[in-house]
Chain A
C-alpha cells in the first residue's frame, strides 16, 4: 500500500506526462512544443526517481533538459522567425497520424494487458544502486558489466561531435 503522497505524486507525474506529450505534438507554435517536451522529459525523470533510479533521473535531467532541449531551442530560433505558426494540418495527414497512433496503441496495449499478470504485482524491494555500484558496473569487464559499450558510446560521441561540426560548418 502506497502512501497518499506518493499516489498524488504519481498522478501528477502521469497526468503531466500525458498532457504535455499530447500538447507537444499538437501545438502550432514550435517553441512551445519544445517547452512541452521539456516538461515531458521532467516527468520521465520523475518516473525514474520514483523507481529509485536516482542516477538515471539525474542523467535524464542533465542530458535531456540541460542539453538536448537547449539544442532544440537554438535550432528553432535559427530556423524560424518568432511568431511563426505551422500551418493547419490537412485532414488526410491527421487521419494517417491517428490511424498509426491508434493502431500502435491497440497493438501495444493489447500486448500489455494480455500478458500482464506480473505487471500487477507490487513493486519488489530493491537496494537503490549507489554511485559506487553504478560506477563499478559501468567500468567492469565481467558479466553484466559495461566497459565495452561505454567505450563504444564514447567513440560514437566523438564521431558525433566531428560529424556535427563537419555537417553544420559553413562552406
Chain B
C-alpha cells in the first residue's frame, strides 16, 4: 500500500493546525472555517479510501487466504534511538480497529467542522471571538486523535494521548474569559494527567520487562513472506506472560507484575474514558463549546481508554484479574452514571453522564470478553458499540447544541415543548434517543444487545446488572427527550423570536448522523472486527432471547419516561419526595466532587501542602531571609564608620597599619 495517503491523513490536520494557528488571525472568519472544513473533508475522503481499501480491497497484506484480517504496518520510522533496544518509532499501523477508528474520527470531526460553521456564530451571523483559533484547535485535536489510533507502538500512543489531552484542555477552556470554563479545563487536564501517570508507569514496566514498545511485539506474530504484516496471535501474548513469569521478581504486592502493568495502563484509560473514580472531569468538560463536546467528549477522545484496552487485549486475556477489574469498574460506572443522568437539569450534563455510562458499557464488554469464539463476542461488541455510540452520541450532542444555540440556555427548564418549533432537531434527536435506548432497527440496539449477550456468556450477574442499566438508559434519555420537546407548551419570552431550526450547515450533520444511526446496526461488524482478526459471524451467535429481553427492558424504560414526563404532572415530584435521599445523592452526583474537594483541600492541601508551605516559608525562606537580615543589620551597624570624614579613614588606616607593623615586628623578633 502506498504510504502517501496515510501520511496525508496525519499531515493535513497538522498542516491545517499550523496554518490556522499561525495565520488564522489574518484571515477572515469565513475563510478560516472553510479551510478547516475543507481540510477535514479531504482527510475524511482519504480515511474512507484507506478503510475501504483495508476492509474490502482484499490485498494479501490485509487479509490472508483464510479470510483472517491482518495488521499492516504502513510505515514505521525511527524517531528517537536512545539505545540499541530502546528505540522510539513513529508509524502508521493499519488493522481492523484502527481502520474503524479512522472512519469514526474523520466522520465525526468533519460533521463537527461543518456544524461549527453555524454554531460558532450568533443569530445575527456574527462570529464568535476566536473562531479561527477554534478551527486551529479542532485540527490539532483531529491530528492527535488520528495519530493516537494509528500508533503502532505504545510510546507513540502515549505522545498522542497527551496531545489529545492538551487539545481537549485548549478546547474546554475555549471560552477562556469564563471562570467556570477555565477551571473545568484545568480539572480535566489535572485529572487525566494524574491518570496518565499510571499509564506511563505501566508503559515503563511493560517495556522494561519486554524490551519493546511495539504493539505487534506484544500481541502479534509476523506473517511469513511479507514485511510489516502481522497477525494477532495469542501465543505472542503467552510469550510475554512467560517473560514476566520467568523474571526475577514476578510478584509485586500480591499481584503479578504483568497485572500491575496492565492495571496501571488501564488507569490511563480510566482517566481518559472517565471511569469511576476518575470521571469527575467529564461533566465539567461540558463548559466547552457543544461541537467540541460532541467530538471530543462523546465520540472520540473519551473512547481512547476503550481503544487502549482493545489494543492490548491479548495481553489482558493473559490476566483474568485485570479483566475482572475492568469489568467491575465498568459496571459500577455504568450504573452510577445512569443514575446521576436521571436527575440532572443541564441537558449537556445528562448527555455527559450518558456518555460515561455508555463507555462503561464498552469497558464491561471488553472485561467480559474471553478468548474462545463465543466469548470473543465481547471484544467485537465493544468496538461495535464504540462505533454506533460515536455516531448517535455525536448526533445527540449536536442536537443539544442546536437547542442551546436556539434557546441560549443549557437547562431543559428553559426548553419544554420545542417539538413544533424545531422539527428537524426533534426528529433527529428522537432517532438518537431511540438508538441509545436500544430500540430495534436503530444502531444502538445491535451493539448493546451484543454487549448484553457477551455479559450473559460470562456471568449472569453482569448480564442482569447491565440490562438494568440499559433500562435506566432508555428511561433517562426519554426523560430528557420529553422534557425538551414535550412536557408543556413552550413559552416564547417577550422580545424574543420563536426558536427555529438551525441553518443547513447545522442541520445537515444532524441528518447525516441520524441516517447513519438508523443503518449502522446492519453493518456486518463481526466480519470486519474481531480481536484476532478471524471473521466472526455474529448473526450465528445472535441470542434472540437476550434481544427480546433487552427490547422489553428498553421499552419499559421508555414507557416509564412517557408516563412521567410526557405531560406536565406531579409524578416526578412525587417520585422525588418518595426517595429524597436517593434523589439528592443522584442530583449531587453522589458527592464525588465534594469528596475530591475534601481530599484535595482538607487532606492534601491541609495536612501535606500547608505544613510543607509553612516549612518552605518559615524554615527555608526564613534561613535565607535571616542571612539577608543579618547582613543588612550588620551593614547598618558598621555604616557610621563610613562617615565621609577622610581624616577618620586615615586614622583607622594608620592604626591598622601600625598594629600590623607592630605585630609583624613582634613575630619576627
- Direct A–B contact in complex, judged by CB atoms less than 8 Å apart: yes
Chain A residues near B (Cβ < 8 Å) = 93, 96, 100, 103-104, 107, 110-111, 114
The A contact surface, by secondary structure, is: helix
- Asked if residues A104 and B658 are in contact (CB atoms below 8 Å), the reply is yes
**Which one of A107, A110, A114 has the highest number of Cβ atoms from chain B below 10 Å of its Cβ?**
A107
* The one of B647, B651, B662 that contacts A107, using a Cβ cutoff of 8 Å: B662
- Closest residue to B669 on the A side, CB-wise? A114
Contacts of A104 in B (CB 8 A): 654, 658
Pick the 3 closest A-B CB pairs, nearest first: A107-B658, A100-B654, A103-B658
Cα–Cα, bound, A93→B651 (Å): 10
- Asked if residues A103 and B665 are in contact (CB atoms below 8 Å), the reply is no
For residue B661, CB closer than 8 A to chain A, the reply is yes
| A-B contacts besides A107-B661, A111-B665, 9 pairs, CB < 8 Å | A100-B651, A100-B655, A103-B655, A104-B654, A104-B658, A107-B658, A107-B662, A110-B665, A114-B669
B residues 642-669 near A (Cβ < 8 Å) are: 647, 651, 654-655, 658, 661-662, 665, 669
B residues 602-656 near A (Cβ < 8 Å) are: 647, 651, 654-655
Cα–Cα, bound, A143→B593 (Å): 93
Contacts of B669 in A (CB 8 A): 114
Contacts of B658 in A (CB 8 A): 103-104, 107
- Closest residue to B661 on the A side, CB-wise? A107
Cα–Cα, bound, A96→B655 (Å): 10
* Chain B residues with a Cβ closer than 8 Å to the other chain, count: 9
Nearest CB in chain B: distance from A37 CB, A: 19
- 18 contacting pairs across A/B (C-beta < 8 A): A93-B647, A96-B651, A100-B651, A100-B654, A100-B655, A103-B654, A103-B655, A103-B658, A104-B654, A104-B658, A107-B658, A107-B661, A107-B662, A107-B665, A110-B665, A111-B661, A111-B665, A114-B669
Contacts of B662 in A (CB 8 A): 107
Cα–Cα, bound, A111→B651 (Å): 21
Contacts of A93 in B (CB 8 A): 647
Contacts of B651 in A (CB 8 A): 96, 100
Cα–Cα, bound, A100→B659 (Å): 11
Nearest CB in chain B: distance from A155 CB, A: 28
Contacts of A110 in B (CB 8 A): 665
Nearest CB in chain B: distance from A86 CB, A: 14
Contacts of A103 in B (CB 8 A): 654-655, 658
Cα–Cα, bound, A114→B668 (Å): 12
Contacts of B665 in A (CB 8 A): 107, 110-111
- Closest residue to A96 on the B side, CB-wise? B651
Contacts of A114 in B (CB 8 A): 669
Nearest CB in chain A: distance from B581 CB, A: 90
Cα–Cα, bound, A82→B654 (Å): 34
Contacts of B655 in A (CB 8 A): 100, 103
- Closest residue to A111 on the B side, CB-wise? B665
Contacts of A111 in B (CB 8 A): 661, 665
Contacts of B654 in A (CB 8 A): 100, 103-104
Nearest CB in chain A: distance from B313 CB, A: 89
Cα–Cα, bound, A107→B658 (Å): 7
- Closest residue to B662 on the A side, CB-wise? A107
- Closest residue to A104 on the B side, CB-wise? B658
- Closest residue to B654 on the A side, CB-wise? A100
- Closest residue to B648 on the A side, CB-wise? A96
- Closest residue to A110 on the B side, CB-wise? B665
Cα–Cα, bound, A104→B654 (Å): 8
Cα–Cα, bound, A103→B661 (Å): 11
Cα–Cα, bound, A107→B655 (Å): 11
Contacts of A107 in B (CB 8 A): 658, 661-662, 665
Nearest CB in chain B: distance from A22 CB, A: 19
Nearest CB in chain B: distance from A170 CB, A: 26
- Closest residue to B645 on the A side, CB-wise? A93
B residues 390-409 near A (Cβ < 8 Å) are: none
Nearest CB in chain A: distance from B288 CB, A: 71
Nearest CB in chain A: distance from B658 CB, A: 5
Contacts of A96 in B (CB 8 A): 651
Nearest CB in chain B: distance from A31 CB, A: 22
Cα–Cα, bound, A104→B658 (Å): 7
Nearest CB in chain A: distance from B507 CB, A: 85
Cα–Cα, bound, A114→B658 (Å): 16
Nearest CB in chain A: distance from B648 CB, A: 8
Nearest CB in chain B: distance from A87 CB, A: 15
Nearest CB in chain A: distance from B53 CB, A: 89
Cα–Cα, bound, A127→B654 (Å): 39
Contacts of B647 in A (CB 8 A): 93
Contacts of A100 in B (CB 8 A): 651, 654-655
B residues 305-350 near A (Cβ < 8 Å) are: none
Cα–Cα, bound, A111→B658 (Å): 12
Nearest CB in chain B: distance from A115 CB, A: 9
Cα–Cα, bound, A160→B305 (Å): 85
Nearest CB in chain B: distance from A90 CB, A: 12
Nearest CB in chain B: distance from A107 CB, A: 5
Cα–Cα, bound, A35→B662 (Å): 35
Nearest CB in chain B: distance from A19 CB, A: 24
Cα–Cα, bound, A106→B658 (Å): 10
Nearest CB in chain A: distance from B382 CB, A: 92
Nearest CB in chain A: distance from B646 CB, A: 13
Cα–Cα, bound, A96→B647 (Å): 10
Cα–Cα, bound, A3→B658 (Å): 39
Nearest CB in chain B: distance from A128 CB, A: 34
Cα–Cα, bound, A58→B651 (Å): 34
Cα–Cα, bound, A103→B658 (Å): 8
Cα–Cα, bound, A129→B149 (Å): 104
Cα–Cα, bound, A104→B662 (Å): 10
B residues 407-465 near A (Cβ < 8 Å) are: none
Contacts of B661 in A (CB 8 A): 107, 111
Nearest CB in chain A: distance from B176 CB, A: 60
Nearest CB in chain A: distance from B655 CB, A: 7
Cα–Cα, bound, A146→B403 (Å): 103
Cα–Cα, bound, A114→B665 (Å): 10
Nearest CB in chain B: distance from A171 CB, A: 25
Nearest CB in chain A: distance from B389 CB, A: 88
Cα–Cα, bound, A111→B666 (Å): 10
- Closest residue to B665 on the A side, CB-wise? A111
Q: CB-defined interface of B234-245 with A at 8 Å, one 1/0 digit per residue?
A: 000000000000
Nearest CB in chain A: distance from B28 CB, A: 64
Nearest CB in chain A: distance from B368 CB, A: 97
Cα–Cα, bound, A114→B661 (Å): 14
Cα–Cα, bound, A93→B654 (Å): 15
